[in-house]
Structure 1
Amino acid sequence: MSGTVPGPGPVTRLLLVDDQQLVRSGFAMICSVEPDLEVVGEAADGAAAVERARGLRPDVVLMDVQMPVMDGIEATRRIVAEDLAKVLVLTTFDDDAYVDDALRAGASGFLLKNSDADRLVDAVRTVAAGHALLAPEVTRRVIERMVATGGDAGPPPASGAVAPDPGLARLTPRESEVLALVGQGMSNTEIAGELFLGEATVKTHVSNVLAKLHLRDRVQAVVYYHRTLT
Structure 2
Amino acid sequence: MESKRQRPLRIAIVDDYAVVVAGVAAFLADEHIDVVETGASTSVHSDVDVVLYDTFGQVQGRGIDLEDFVRDSDALVVVYSWNLEPKLIEQVIAAGARGYLSKVLTGPQVVAALERVMAGEIVILPGAEEASGEGEGDGDWPGREAGLSPREAEIIALVTQGLSNKEIAARAFLSINTVKTYIRTAYQKIGANRRSQAVLWGMQNGFEPDTLRTIDPELVLRTARTSPRTAG
TM-score by length of 2: 0.47
Q: Specify which structure has the higher proportion of helix.
A: 1
TM-score normalised per structure 1: 0.48
By relative contact order (CA 8 Å, sep 6+), the higher-ranking structure is 2
